[in-house]
Amino acid sequence: MSDDWTRLCALLDDDPDLLTSVGAAAGDPDEADPWGAVIDGLDDAGALAYLERGDAGVELADALAGVPRVFRAGVDLEPVADVEGELPAAIARADAILAPQGLRLVYLAEDSDAFPLVVVPVAHADEIVALATKLGHEARVFG
């Protein structure tokens, strides 16, 4: 596994199983790219808010409530649940609520209507986006 994949895993979450599963995917000749293992590993660790593009604020608030970093921060997600309409407006509200806690939402693109979001420390967000781009994938922040 390349140093870039190792660094990306370390920035995204501290679960050692994430690095193990991505390393296994990177070493598997049948696996073209470990990006799917990153998303699956984050999901397995409970670090991913996995939504669909048609979801709104209430679904985002429910998904974020179970993310360990959000739970530990004790963030009130009611203002996110109150956002009606499209998911981007709810994400912007959630990102603004998480920022004072030193957290950001990062979108990890997939080839589907899924909308996987990971909550990361603010200091990691730009490097995550840069590494994902370097590795040929899309990650982005909001706001």
Residue owning tokens 């990153």:
38
Kindly report which listed range (6-10, 20-24, 42-46, 103-107) carries the lowest average pLDDT score: 20-24
26/59 Cα distance (integer angstroms): 33
Over residues 92-117, the mean pLDDT reads 93
Does pLDDT of 127 surpass 80?
yes
Distance between CA 87 and CA 26 in Å, rounded? 32
Cβ 127 vs Cβ 139: under 8 Å = no
6-12 contact pairs (CB < 8 A, 24+): 7/127, 7/131, 8/38, 8/128, 8/131, 8/132, 8/135, 9/38, 9/41, 11/120, 11/124, 11/127, 11/128, 11/131, 12/38, 12/42, 12/47, 12/118, 12/120, 12/124, 12/128
pLDDT of residue 126: 97
| Model pLDDT, residue 11 | 96
If one counts the domains in the chain, the total is: 1
Residue range(s) defining the domain that contains residue 70: 3-141
Phi and psi at 116, nearest 5°, equal -75, 130
According to DSSP, the residues that pair with 50 across neighbouring strands are 116
> How many angstroms separate the CA atoms of 113 and 19, rounded?
26
Strands, E, within 1-143: which ranges?
48-52, 103-108, 114-121, 139-141
Q: Among 27-31, 37-41, 46-50, 114-118, name the one with the lowest average pLDDT.
A: 27-31
pLDDT at 139 exceeding the cut of 90: yes
Q: What's the rounded Cα separation, in Å, for the pair 81 and 106? A: 19
pLDDT > 90 in the chain, percent: 78
The pTM for the full model equals: 0.92
